[in-house]
Amino acid sequence: MALAVKRSISEISTLPEPATIVPQITTHRLYKRIRRNACKSSGTLTSILSYVNMLEDASSNDALQILLKITDSMHFDESEFPDAIRKLVEHFQREPESAVRVKILSLFADLATETGIDGQQLIDEVIKLLKVEQSAKVISQGLIVLEKIGKSFTPSVAYINQMVFFAKVKLFSPSHNVQRHAILLLGVFVLVSDAEKESLELIGKYTDSPDARVRAQAFRSMLTLGERGVQLPPSLYPRACASLTDDYECVRREALNMVFELGVRHPEEMIKVQDSEQEVRLIDDAFGKVCSAICDLSMNIRTLAAELLGGMTMVSDEFLHQTLDKKLMSNMRKKRSLHERSAAHFASGEWSSGKKWADDAPKEVISADSVSLMASGACGALVQGLEDEFLEVRTASVNSMCKLALKNPLFAVTSLDFLVDMFNDEIEEVRLRAIYSLTAISRHIILREDQLETMLSSLEDYSVEVREGLHLMLGACKVSTKACLTLVVQKVLDVLLKYPEDRLSTFGCMQRVGQKHPEICMSITPQLLLDHPFFDSAERDVEDPAYVCVLIMLFNAAQHLPAMLSLFPETTIKHYAYLRDTMPNFVPRLAVGGDTKELNLIGSTGSRQFLETLLSNIQRAYSAPQARQALLKAAQDDLDRLAEIDPAFSGTANFTSVFFGAQLQMEQLQLAATGHSIKAPIKECLLQLIKKCLMLQNLFSNLTIDDQLLVKQMCLRASALNLVLIVKDRSQSALGPCQLLLHIASDASSFLQENTPLIADTFTSAILTKLASVGDPKPGRVYREILPIVQTAAPVVIPQINTNIKMCKARIIEPTENSYSAENVIKVTAGLIAAVPFVAELENLQQSQRQDLRLKVKYPDQNVHIIVPRKRDLKKVMTEQGESESQWRLRTKVLLSHGVWTEASTVEITICLSVKPNNELELCKPVKVHFAPKPVKRGL
């Protein structure tokens, strides 16, 4: 089934060239007119007054329906806003139904957030209406509206003080909803200087409110003030601790966040232990309080407590280690001298009667709760989190244990056994978190044989992600003995026989194992190579994956210990040359068999110098069109080759190459616009130009604002050429291209307005001015206005060198053309479905592009199916340092189905980005698999 997802048209964009902006219309009005014309061309601009006038004679129910229609439209003429607001205020004052008044206030907030209405006027009107309002429901909604309006723009200090004063007045309302939203408004808008003086204390008083929602909001607003830069004093700590035992979950949650925040902000502050004169650090006491929350009845509180523990890295070692032991450690008890104990016993007036043996013996402790520095319920908090029945709590506990272990090597060693035990958890997500956590702390630990046995038993897990995670972990950790390394190698090779699809992951694991254990690898080299000291051994098959794994490990170990080379037999040296050529990513360069010098390209010197020379030659040929076009064609080939040989410079080279290709197509089409004939079909050239513009927009990241302007200007030229050529052709409607041009011009004008230092080139300035002067943006009128500008347009300015540009691209790992060759055909009954495993790695994919990822399947009859992969099939690649920032892995199944074929034929599968309907940008070359739908076998 072919699926396509529509996107909003933010089609195309461009960069600068020193030029003059036509001074007929001011910049602000110019941009505003272009946006209004773009709305007119789509027919979406409506009159808000036509709706508001209907409210005069409407009943309450009808008024509510009219207000709902206004909310659904939200595309209005901004010049009508003042009159519309005045009439809405008048209707509010005479409306008896509170629900309608609430909706009017809500409409004010929607207008502020979605249109360009004056927010200060709305603030004045809302506060004026609420001052005489009696309904608590309406006042509560008004406070919410004030918050939304204030966030929609940057209000002045006078308006901020006006909103804060009004909120303080409403704090004394008997309604808990009004109090809650007044506290919320104070937390968001009160000035930092005022908050530290009085507002913080005022909000703090409401933590004792009889209503739980008000208490929770008071803590939440104080945390908001802390995020805004207000200094939260340690005096709030007792108040937060007292609320940890509140009956309501929402209060306990916010109080727990407050305890954590105060502990992190004031770690060295000394406070007294409850019922004692002894003092402890605030961070230690807060850590104990958070640990106690692990035993809370609510799963959400337990999860939050487990997450917060990971952020308290400044806690003392004795408190930290107590989280792994459910019994109270001796160093966590408060001890009294013998004299103090005897004095207390004497003061109690109790004497031994002699009837009970040793009843007068000195006692060290009486009650664990009254004599310990940490509550007994908080002991073993992380262990309790790891044993919790809910996977959310267990996952959060594993993550926190990892964060704490990264900061404390001794705790990392102590927590190792607990993390290893989590490898046997019933939930795959928890197992993966434990594996990744152990990978992250691998630099602090050395694995023992008993721990390895538990880890290696998980290698046979059905989940490929768990197996790959274990490969990553084994490659990151160090083992202690020769027997441990032998155990790892044997188990990895046994699992490889069971799961041959893990070949690449296993190669990477053995590569890292060899790099980290060169000495141990040297001691077991003869054993692994089956090399007899007196007799020649049979030559091993170099295509055997198990043998390749062994060689990869030994070659990487030999890189750090060259003495190992003397232990390799002659056949192994020959196999090294073969593997070095076929697997350069896994096999390092060694000092065997010839020249060992390696050519290194340094992007900051050689590649950059080459690109600078290339651009300067093109710039010098700016006034010679034929010479410039020849240079651009040659530069494309050179840049494509540069991208292949220098990966660090590939993004910049690919961006420049695509830009030059778009410029060549544009110059060809510009000749066609002036009446000259060109060799290539115009439609084909237009499609190629639009595709390259879409590539510039969607496949490249880390562009500077100059690069973005250059792209927007290029796209504006392309859309203008598109409209001119389609109108000249007269074979299809020009309404769509005209709307596209207006939207692109609107996008470019908004970009220039947001970045005022940028200056558009002469073409962009002229086009924007012409479009702003068009009253009725019909295709014929727009065509006549822009035709002279398009025909006389100067060449585009070449881009500056930006070495930070990254290009989104993909690499298909599975299937390969060898795995489904002519000898290994996918056979299926016609009409049924064959599921082909598909694995691909993507580089520099933006988070916002995840939903645009597609799989494209092209059959021999030219039918194309676009498949939307599931979101859970796309995950970030894990490394020893954690999740990769720019690399993703897609693991899914491609479903193939077709009618009867007489013989097997190839089906092309590739991965692409859907940037607009019926426009997919391929991220890699398609892989071809042989597919043969067979006719249904009829029974006798």
Q: For residue 517, is it within any domain?
A: no
Q: Look at residue 892 in the predicted model and tell me its pLDDT.
A: 93
Q: For residue 506, is it within any domain?
A: no
What does the DSSP 8-state code read for residue 357? T
Decide if 403 contacts 395 (C-beta within 8 A).
no
Among 662, 670, 652, 667, residue whose Cα is nearest residue 614:
652
Number of domains in the chain: 4
Q: Do 195 and 271 fall into the same domain? A: no
Hey, CA dihedral for 408, 410, 415, 419, is it positive or negative? positive
Q: Do 90 and 122 fall into the same domain? A: yes
Q: Do 674 and 784 fall into the same domain? A: yes
> Considering the chain, what percentage of its residues have pLDDT values greater than 90?
39
Residue range 216-220: mean pLDDT, rounded: 95
Q: Look at residue 598 in the predicted model and tell me its pLDDT.
A: 52
Tell which of 739, 757, 790 closes a domain.
790
Decide if 51 contacts 69 (C-beta within 8 A).
yes
pLDDT tens column, 614-657: 888 887 776 777 777 888 888 888 888 888 888 888 888 899 99
Q: For residue 667, is it within any domain?
A: yes
Omega cis (within 30) before 815: yes
Confidence of residue 349 (pLDDT cuts 50, 70, 90): low
Report the alpha-carbon angle 179-185-189, nearest 5.
150
**121: pLDDT strictly greater than 90:** no
Decide if 746 contacts 30 (C-beta within 8 A).
no
Q: Look at residue 72 in the predicted model and tell me its pLDDT.
A: 84
What are the start-end ranges of the H helices in 74-135? 81-94, 98-114, 119-131
Among 388, 398, 425, residue whose Cα is nearest residue 297:
388
Instruction: Give me the chain's average pLDDT, please.
Output: 84
Q: In this predicted model, which residue has the larger pLDDT, 54 or 595? A: 54
Output the furthest CA–CA distance in the chain (Å, rounded): 123
What does the DSSP 8-state code read for residue 879? E
Q: Do 256 and 270 fall into the same domain? A: no
Residue range 344-363: mean pLDDT, rounded: 55
Element (H, E) at 809: strand 809-814
Tell me which long-range contacts 764-768 makes (C-beta under 8 A, separation of at least 24): 764/14, 764/19, 764/713, 764/716, 765/19, 765/20, 765/21, 765/22, 766/22, 767/716, 767/720, 768/30, 768/31, 768/34
pLDDT tens column, 141-192: 999 999 999 888 888 889 999 999 999 999 999 999 999 999 999 999 988 8
Q: Do 225 and 270 fall into the same domain? A: no
Residue range 331-337: mean pLDDT, rounded: 48
Q: Look at residue 249 in the predicted model and tell me its pLDDT.
A: 94
pLDDT tens column, 818-868: 777 777 888 889 889 999 999 999 999 988 888 899 999 999 988 999 999
Q: Look at residue 512 in the predicted model and tell me its pLDDT.
A: 93
Tell which of 387, 416, 443 closes a domain.
443
Q: CATH no. for residue 222?
A: 1.25.10.10
Tell which of 728, 757, 790 closes a domain.
790
Cα–Cα distance for residue pair 254/581, rounded to 1 Å: 60
**215: pLDDT strictly greater than 90:** yes
* Distance set, CA 340 to CA 278, 637, 809 (Å): 15, 89, 74
- Say which residues have a Cβ less than 8 Å from residue 676's Cβ, sequence separation at least 6: none
Residue range 895-909: mean pLDDT, rounded: 90
Decide if 331 contacts 283 (C-beta within 8 A).
no
Q: CATH no. for residue 815?
A: 2.60.40
Return the bridge partners of 856, or none.
Answer: 866, 910
Q: In this predicted model, which residue has the larger pLDDT, 124 or 599? A: 124
Confidence of residue 516 (pLDDT cuts 50, 70, 90): very high
Q: Look at residue 29 in the predicted model and tell me its pLDDT.
A: 44
* Distance set, CA 708 to CA 107, 705, 756, 811, 931 (Å): 36, 5, 14, 27, 44
Q: Do 168 and 182 fall into the same domain? A: yes
Q: Which residue range(s) make up the domain with 647? A: 603-790
**443: pLDDT strictly greater than 80:** yes
Decide if 777 contacts 40 (C-beta within 8 A).
yes
Q: For residue 360, is it within any domain?
A: no
Confidence of residue 790 (pLDDT cuts 50, 70, 90): confident
* Distance set, CA 573 to CA 507, 566, 578, 591 (Å): 19, 10, 9, 11
Least trusted range by pLDDT, from 70-79, 367-376, 736-745, 912-921: 367-376
- Say which residues have a Cβ less than 8 Å from residue 584's Cβ, sequence separation at least 6: none
Confidence of residue 791 (pLDDT cuts 50, 70, 90): confident
Q: For residue 544, is it within any domain?
A: no
What are the start-end ranges of the H helices in 583-649? 608-620, 625-645
CA dihedral 365, 369, 375, 377 (to 10 degrees): 110
Cα–Cα distance for residue pair 105/195, rounded to 1 Å: 28
Residue range 656-664: mean pLDDT, rounded: 90
Q: Do 776 and 888 fall into the same domain? A: no
* Distance set, CA 891 to CA 84, 495, 537, 773, 928 (Å): 54, 20, 41, 52, 18
Element (H, E) at 259: helix 249-265
Confidence of residue 50 (pLDDT cuts 50, 70, 90): confident
Decide if 549 contacts 493 (C-beta within 8 A).
yes
Among 879, 917, 873, 875, residue whose Cα is nearest residue 892:
873
Q: Do 216 and 270 fall into the same domain? A: no
Least trusted range by pLDDT, from 81-85, 289-293, 592-596, 713-717: 592-596
Cα–Cα distance for residue pair 877/886, rounded to 1 Å: 9
Q: Do 54 and 151 fall into the same domain? A: yes
Residue range 684-708: mean pLDDT, rounded: 90
Q: For residue 609, is it within any domain?
A: yes
Buried b (16+ CB within 10 A) or exposed e, 525-539: beebbebeeeeeeee
Write down the residue that tokens 């001011």 correspond to. Answer: 26
pLDDT tens column, 460-505: 888 889 999 999 999 999 998 999 999 999 999 999 999 988 898 9
Q: Quick count: other Cβ atoms within 10 Å of Cβ 487?
A: 16
List the helix and strand counts (H, then E) for the chain.
39, 16
* Distance set, CA 618 to CA 357, 624, 628, 703 (Å): 104, 10, 6, 22
Among 435, 507, 422, 489, residue whose Cα is nearest residue 467:
435
**725: pLDDT strictly greater than 60:** yes
pLDDT tens column, 355-408: 556 555 555 444 444 445 555 556 889 999 999 999 999 999 999 999 999 999
Q: Do 820 and 833 fall into the same domain? A: yes
Decide if 827 contacts 799 (C-beta within 8 A).
no
Element (H, E) at 854: strand 853-858
**938: pLDDT strictly greater than 90:** no
Cβ burial of 861 (10 Å; 0-12, 13-18, 19+) is exposed
Write down the residue that tokens 């046994």 correspond to. Answer: 494
Q: Do 257 and 287 fall into the same domain? A: no
Q: Look at residue 916 in the predicted model and tell me its pLDDT.
A: 82
Q: For residue 742, is it within any domain?
A: yes
Write down the residue that tokens 């016609």 correspond to. Answer: 830
Residue range 449-467: mean pLDDT, rounded: 88
Return the bridge partners of 661, or none.
Answer: none
Q: Look at residue 406 in the predicted model and tell me its pLDDT.
A: 92
Least trusted range by pLDDT, from 245-259, 312-326, 536-550, 597-611: 597-611
Q: Do 245 and 301 fall into the same domain? A: no
Residue range 746-751: mean pLDDT, rounded: 88
pLDDT tens column, 305-331: 999 999 999 999 888 988 888 775 544
Q: For residue 473, is it within any domain?
A: no
